[in-house]
Amino acid sequence: MVNHYSLEEKNLVERELCELFPPEWLREKARDTGLIKRELKIDPVIMFWVLAIGYGSFLQRTLASLKRNYETASSRVLSDSSWYYRFTPELVVFLRECVGWGVEYLAQEPSRTLNERLSLFEDVLIQDSTIVRLHEKLAKIWPATRSLKVAAGVKFNKNSRSFREGS
């Protein structure tokens, strides 16, 4: 796989993400959502970044590999229970808050103005199994099905808790 990003671009993305999710905000949100009652073993900032970045499409998707990533990032060895028992409804609420914060942040960027007709929308409800067509330049990454021409699309499916590529 060819890396098309320069080191400067990688640093820019990292800086932007760190500005979007500062450690103080993450810790406060972890306390507010009940994820962390007291910081003894698990640092919510490190846990957030391990879960946000360490769960890519080409990476191992196991709790054990995420635990190893956490241990590497934090320089701490955790018992299995210290790690596994953090995957709770409170973690879901915490991550949902983080996603909401990120979406709101992106929506408020001055360079991201919506078309006048779309600016009235605050939320979008998508029915299960909805196929959303994307720009044709994304066809190699997100190939659409049931299309007579080269097209890109994603299918949203409630059972997978995420969208399925090209379905």
Task: List pLDDT tens digits, range 53-102.
Answer: 876 555 557 888 889 989 999 999 999 988 998 999 999 999 999 998 98
- Residue 75, sorted as left (phi over 0), alpha (psi -120 to 50) or beta, turns out to be left
Looking at residue 34, what DSSP letter applies?
T
98 and 149 both lie in a single domain: no
Share of the chain above pLDDT 70, in %: 69
Q: Give a yes or no: residue 121 inside a domain.
A: no
Would you state the pLDDT for residue 161? 44
* pTM tops 0.95, yes or no: no
Would you state the pLDDT for residue 167? 41
Q: Give a yes or no: residue 115 inside a domain.
A: no
Q: Which domain holds residue 134?
A: 130-165
Q: Is the pLDDT of residue 25 over 90?
A: yes
Would you state the pLDDT for residue 1? 44
Task: With beta carbons less than 8 A apart as the criterion, state whether 8 and 35 touch.
Answer: no
Tell me the CA distances in angstroms from 58 to 42, 77, 83, one per residue in order: 25, 25, 22
Task: With beta carbons less than 8 A apart as the criterion, state whether 47 and 86 touch.
Answer: yes
